[in-house]
Amino acid sequence: MGWHKTLAHQWNRTKTFIHQSYRTLGKWAGEVERGAGIGKTFFSTIAPILDDLGQHDAISHGMKATQGYDQLRQGVMDAEHYVKGHANRIAQADLFS
């Protein structure tokens, strides 16, 4: 096999690895998102109870955690959009045709 074919083969393997890693990361992120959704629902359910018990600090911490997660999520979504654009450009690059 000539160097050109070897390089083309390795390039395709690299693209496949990146694609599979991206999908795996996406599945993991989906699980985190589902867990966060459950946590938010739980917190919104118990917040009135905590308020009745005078646990205003707990509510404040819960709200800060929720807002922090939302900010982190937005940052990840922005980064994903940026990476996806470059990934599509790289995936479409047929360097060895």
- The owner of tokens 């959009």 is 81
Q: What is the four-CA torsion angle of 63, 68, 73, 79, rounded to 10 degrees?
A: 160
**Residue 49: which pLDDT band, with cuts at 50, 70 and 90?**
very high
What is the model's pLDDT at position 1? 65
Among 22, 44, 26, smallest CA distance to 34 is for 26
Residue 9 has pLDDT above 80, yes or no: yes
Find, among 2, 11, 22, 4, the residue nearest to 87 by Cα.
22
DSSP state for residue 70 in the 8-state scheme: H
Residue 72 has pLDDT above 80, yes or no: yes
Q: Identify the residue with better confidence: 1 or 3.
A: 3
Q: How confident is the model over 29-57, as a mean pLDDT?
A: 93
- Tokens 């996806």 locate to 84
